Amino acid sequence: MPGLPKFSAAQLSAEQIQQYDHNPSPDTAAREIASALGLGEYQSDAATAVCVDFVSYALNFARDSNFTQQQSGRLLQLAQTLLQETAGGCSVGELQNILKQQLKDYTATGDDKWFLPKQILQIADFFSTGLFAHSKLYNFLFTQPQAHDEQNIILQVETAVVQPLKDALTEEQWVQHNASLAAEAGAHKQAQEAADRERQLAEAAAAQHQAAEAAEALRHSTLTKL
């Protein structure tokens, strides 16, 4: 049945958030976040992929806004709450009210786990231009069944046959073997080039012969008319 995949942003530890922030590979970072959240099907399931992308998007925003790890954790919990309400069918107005109440509770009180007024405005803008602007699309994704195309492909796999060590070549024999292959390749190239030259000469001779025949035919035709 359609619905928001089950995950908990609270599962992400401060260490995992820090690792995400310093991971140079976006693909690896997304894979680690998906594993930590229990969203292993993100590469084959669209709804699960959207959850991983949404969490990654929130983490990128937190990093670019210089949030502390505690603040990033709070932001993720807020993001999950709003995503759940969106999947449940809340309107944009209802989502805005939820956000306002949550941000009111998150106002800074001297603890670095909370947010300053400037950060509150940044968070409001983040959700307004992202989740709220596309809430109907998110709701549709989480409430409509997905069409899955399944294909079976038969592949023929050949397993290499490894020769026993007693038949292995020594380094000297290997060098000689490669030298022989190179010599054979060189001889083949020379023979091919010689054959090409002979073909070109034969084509040139045939062209000259045809030209001579054409000239003779023209001369004969002229004499006949006279």
Average pLDDT, consecutive stretches of 10 residues, N- to C-terminus, the chain (226 residues): 76 82 82 85 83 89 89 89 90 92 75 78 92 89 76 77 70 87 91 90 86 78 68
Helix runs in the chain, H state only: 14-22, 26-37, 46-64, 69-87, 92-105, 117-129, 135-143, 171-225
pLDDT at site 32? 87
Strand partners, 115: 107
Q: What is the pLDDT of residue 44?
A: 79
Q: What tokens does 42 get?
A: 């993100």
What is the structure's pLDDT at 1? 47
Closest CA to 30 of 51, 13, 6, 9: 51
